[in-house]
Amino acid sequence: MDTTLDDPLVGRVLDGRYRIDARIAAGGMATVYRAVDTRLDRVLALKVMHPALAADAAFVDRFIREAKSVARLAHPNVVAVFDQGTDGPYVYLAMEYVSGCTLRDVLRERGALQPRAALDILEPVLAALGTAHRAGFVHRDMKPENVLIGDDGRVKVADFGLVRSVDSVTNTTGSVLGTVSYLAPEQIESGVADTRVDVYACGVVLYEMLTGAKPHLGDSPAQVLYQHLNEDVPPPSAAVPGLPVGLDELVAEATARNPELRPYDAAALLGLTREARGRLGDAELDAVPPQARAEVRSSAEDRTGVIPRPVAAQPVNLTSRLETLPPPPSSPAAHRQAPAGRPRRGVFLVIAGVLLALGVGTGVWYINSGQFTKVPNLLGKTEAQARSQLSAAGLGVKRVDRKFSDAFDRGTVMNTDPPGGRRIRGNGAVTLTISRGPEVVAVPNLKGRPLEEAKAELTKSGLAPGIVTQAFSQDVAQGTVISSDPAVGDKRAPDTAVSLVVSKGRPVQVPTVTGLPVDQATAGLEALGLKVATAPEQVNSPAAAGTVANQSIGAGSQAAAGDTITLTVSKGPRPTPVPNVTGQDVDAARKALEAAGFKVKVERPFLSFSNTVDSQSVLGGLNAPEGSTITIRTKGL
């Protein structure tokens, strides 16, 4: 039963920073949530230890060790740990949130993978583990559930919760932590966990990717453990005929039961993997595997468990129960002797410990980030709010439908597919149905409403703001609505555009200010309620320097209070070359001077009958102010 809604942390802000939005998965020791870092505004995964365990120093130390260990592994294929802290009874890790699926999801849906795809996944996994191994850490729980494949195709290794220093060896009377199907023989037998146990697990994962099934299957975890101890991992080509021999050899090297025969660490296995790929052609890499799906088991053998190994002082009580336990019926090991140096009684004691541990329900230490998300309840939310909540949940929007509704306000979510509360894959998409409001909408009374307020009211009513024009009004305040088209009360279909006429206020008659000093012109215009600006550049004009040469709204025009009139300042007439008209006919001289921008005055001496220019007040070639008067004289007696 889904108890996410009963989780006390969902909806809470942890440590004043991390807002918990949804529970992703829960295990025996910790629960993983999808959260938002409110300080940096990013989605992340929050792994919170169960409060009942927070008092156990060993568990807390393991939590803190994971944070410190992964923080040192700055690698693009490792799920990053951002922060670690406590909030009252809660101890937490803030980790990178990967939107996508696990390799287990891929194997369940597709079964065996093409060799190229299998190697494309294995190589970044080995690169990540190689970095951990060279930094001095062993993962100890490699399996498809801990390989995350993002929506962007990136591969990341997750769950370093069982990470342990390379130099650390589990006591032989202690416990084995890991997952039954991927435990190396030395982990089962003696608790040794160096870099080669990760190499073994990666070999098993590669076999599973190439064949779609695990190499060791049984009706119980004990039978699987027996096979790890007594049988070699079979070549993948035995299950999928036609696979290249090079891949068989790679699996065999990685899963050698004698750890001395395996590559020393993941970096060494990565080198062998790349060599094996280099020997394969495109046809071998892209060979299509059988379309059988991987066998899905929901037993404890797929879970990360804390598996007690038997204490040496108490073997007799268990042996009598297990000496008759047969190996798996299909296993040739049923007819073999136990390998030299490995007492048969010890094997049974290990299996007995596993059976007892699983029989009493030993909890999962950690469940990885999970890939199914609960669709949030979005009814009544705006489209923007719905998209934001879906994005925060790691979900997308498949499409948006719009329908009429009398029950839901326009623009709000009236339905989702899948509905709220349904669980879908973490990278899934939801169809939103948005209300268009009622089928017929009456135009509201907007007179006297500010423009933006009127637009919002139209939108809320289910109509659309249309063209906005302005007009002077003696009784409606400037910036508010005078009228609408269609008129108030008219009924229209939703989304019909409504044009608005907005008041410019009472009109102001603009006076003439050209030729006036700028400060005098400015004072006069501001007294009328107008704003005044001065053009950045002055111009030559007939007006005196420092006076207004031009105004942006002409004299006699109407303007609204608050309108801005730009004044252009004169820097006086422009100096202009005077044409030489001496000796020319008076009429021709007049035309030449006027064409150059001058005014012309003609002087004739008394009793002069000549029509030829004898002299001019400004000699030809000299400059005179544009628009000034040039006097020309005719010859006298």
Task: Locate 567 and state its tokens.
Answer: 């004044």
> What gap in Å lies between CA 276 and CA 105, rounded to an integer?
26
User: Where residue 391 sits, what CATH number does that domain have?
Assistant: 3.30.10.20
3-state DSSP assignment of residue 419: coil
Q: What is the DSSP letter of 375?
A: P
CA neighbours within 13 Å on the CB side: how many for 493?
1
Residues 514 and 561 in one domain: yes
Beta strands at 481-485 and 441-442: parallel, antiparallel or unpaired:
unpaired
Q: Are residues 68 and 19 in the same domain?
A: yes
Which of 74, 97, 120 finishes a domain? Answer: 97
Cis peptide before 517 (omega within 30 of 0): no
Q: Is residue 200 part of a domain?
A: no
- Specify whether the CB–CB gap between 90 and 184 falls below 8 A: no
Is residue 28 situated within a structural domain?
Answer: yes
382 and 426 within one domain: yes
Ordered DSSP codes for 504-538: --SEEEPPP-TTSBHHHHHHHHHHTT-EEEE-SS-
Q: Which of 595, 600, 616, 525 is nearest to 564 (CA)?
A: 525
The pLDDT score that the predictor gives to residue 336 is 32
Cis previous bond, 326, omega within 30:
no
Q: Is 539 inside any structural domain?
A: yes
Residues 93 and 14 in one domain: yes
Largest Cα–Cα separation, the chain: 158
Residue 525: the pLDDT is: 93
CATH of the domain at 4: 3.30.200.20
Please identify every residue annotated as catalytic. Answer: 141
User: Is 601 strand, coil or helix?
Assistant: strand
| Alpha-carbon dihedral sign for residues 519, 524, 529, 533 | negative
419: in domain: yes
d(CA 374, CA 390): 10
Give pLDDT, residue 100: 81
In a domain, 525, yes or no: yes
Residue 593 lies in a domain: yes
What local confidence, expressed as pLDDT, does residue 180 receive? 84
* Angle between the N-to-C axes of helices 245-254 and 195-211, in degrees from 0 to 180, rounded to the nearest 10: 150
Domain membership of residue 417 (yes or no) is yes
Cα separation, 479 vs 452, in Å, equals 9
Flag whether 42 is in a domain. yes
Pairing of strands 575-577, 558-560: unpaired
Based on the fold, state whether residues 16 and 55 are members of the same structural domain. Answer: yes
Whether residues 546 and 587 share a domain: the answer is no
Q: Which of 385, 410, 435 is the last residue of a domain?
A: 435
Same domain as 553, residue 525: yes
Please give the full DSSP string across 284-340, using - where no structure is assigned: HHTPPPP-PPPPP--SGGGSEEEEEPPPTT--HHHHHHHTTPPPPTT-GGGGSPPPT
Q: Domain check: are 36 and 80 in the same one?
A: yes
Nearest to 186 by CA among 228, 217, 235, 143: 228
Domain carrying residue 21 = 1-97
**pLDDT for 27:** 62
Do 6 and 78 lie in a common domain? yes
Residues 617, 561: one domain?
A: no
Tokens read off for 540:
């030559």
Question: CB–CB of 262/133 below 8 Å?
Answer: no
CA 218/CA 355 separation, integer angstroms: 13
Number of domains in the chain: 4
In whole angstroms, how far apart are CA 425 and each of 3, 35, 371, 487?
A: 18, 17, 6, 50
Among candidate residues 41, 74, 97, the one where a domain is terminated: 97
What is the per-residue pLDDT for 71? 75
**Mean pLDDT of successive 10-residue segments in the chain (637 residues)?**
64 93 76 91 90 75 72 84 87 88 89 94 95 86 90 85 44 50 87 89 97 88 85 93 94 94 93 94 86 45 46 32 34 35 43 40 30 81 92 89 82 89 79 86 92 92 89 90 92 87 91 93 92 91 89 89 92 89 93 92 83 90 88 83
Q: Report d(CA 629, CA 255) in Å as an integer.
A: 110
